[in-house]
Amino acid sequence: MNAAQVQIDLTPPPIVTVMQRRSFIAGGIAAVIAVLGALILHQWQQFFRAYLIGFLACQGICLGSMAVLMLRHLTKGGWGMVIRRQLGAAMRTIPYLTLLFVPILLGLSHLYIWTQPLESIHDKKLHEHLELVATSYMTVKGFIIRAVIYFAIWNLISFLLSKWSREQDSPTSPSNSKKFKALSGPGIILYAFTISFAGIDWIMSLDPTWSSTMFGLLILIGELMIALAFAIVVERILYRYKPMSELLKPDHVHDHGKLMLTFIMVWAYFSFSQWLILWAGNIPEEITWYIRRLNGGWQFVGLFLVIFQFVVPFVILLSRSFKRDITRLVWLAAWVIIMRFVDLLWLIEPNFSTSLTVTWLDIVVPVAITGLWMGVFFRNLGSLPLVPAYDVDANEVLEVAHE
């Protein structure tokens, strides 16, 4: 059957517009509260720390979706086609995230100690280390230039993938499958390199005395986890309405569940490998990063992550029936998203506080950024059909729906 002959309305349901409006309202209210609160209470350092958490979470969904989308273009399959436009809608928020990065540049002095004058650093070891890195790699100019390069690459990949995808909504458009595949292979490699270096610049450099060769991979797999979990949550929202109720099948959900299990296992492997390597090396400059996170109450957050970001999801996802039921899988996906925020909190906050500290800004600011980002996401999602019907690879999904 030719996909063009399938008589099914692929227009996004009205709930997409409703979610867009609700997201903008919730994000706008939270943003006003956060900014006014920071102004009145003069808590700008805490504001920028919370802002970094929210930004990195939304960036993770965006870039992780781009990576999963490129993976789908390389492997094909109905599992990716049914959520392809959701992944694309998240990916097309990259220009918005580029603008959201500007406040981080404005708050560099509140976040990164290497931006401070060396004469103001009284810790001898830190001063000696900064004399090496703060005059070579970790400079404000270098930080900005590298960020421009990262966003330029991500925006270019997003632009090309989006352009070719839109062309497949026309019955006269040529097949772009070869173009997608030609870009996705190098694109995944570029994504891996850029997000690894971005993780070094934006998170690892919060403690410039510490380094880990595994850290970039941890950031990468965390983004894949939250992106897939977000796609599952959105497909569950859409599943209540046509056309998703006709397109999404148990086999697709099962594949999404298996992919989530894979990402969770890889995250656990990378996390344990980093801990084992650093702990076995027992180098003071490296192990202090973990010492800060194994004391002052932060150890309980770490234990919470081990149990509820790995052990519990791993055990639950071993169930085949659970992975095939979108009405149950969505709850685990939502939990994975929450745990990703906790993970980012655990990575960032101990650099500033030796004891467990969570303020109202750590909640309100990420809610504001996420709400506004989701508004842009749902606007993107509503602008195109939920499936590119004239893509030859869409036949597998559309034929099942037609039957």
The model's pTM: 0.94
Please give the residue that has the higher pLDDT: either 347 or 400.
Answer: 347
Kindly tell me the burial class for residue 89, based on how many C-beta atoms sit within 10 Å of its own C-beta (0-12, 13-18, 19 or more). buried
Q: Can you point out the beta strands (E) in 303-343?
A: none
Instruction: Let me know: does 116 contact 109? Beta carbons within 8 Å.
Output: yes
- The per-residue pLDDT for 346 is 95
Q: What is the mean pLDDT of the chain?
A: 90
- The per-residue pLDDT for 172 is 76
In this structure, the number of other CB atoms found within 10 A of the CB of residue 300 comes to 11
State the pLDDT confidence band at 116, using cuts at 50, 70 and 90: confident
Instruction: Let me know: does 346 contact 298? Beta carbons within 8 Å.
Output: yes
In this structure, the number of other CB atoms found within 10 A of the CB of residue 236 comes to 20
- The per-residue pLDDT for 131 is 74
In this structure, the number of other CB atoms found within 10 A of the CB of residue 12 comes to 21
Model confidence pLDDT, tens digit, residues 351-402: 998 899 899 999 999 999 999 999 999 999 999 999 888 887 777 777 655 4
Name the domain count of the chain: 1
User: Is 86's pLDDT higher than 60?
Assistant: yes
> In which domain, by residue range, is 186 found?
3-402
State the pLDDT confidence band at 2, using cuts at 50, 70 and 90: very low
Please give the residue that has the higher pLDDT: either 129 or 388.
Answer: 388
Model confidence pLDDT, tens digit, residues 246-300: 889 999 999 999 999 999 999 999 999 999 888 887 777 778 888 889 899 999 9
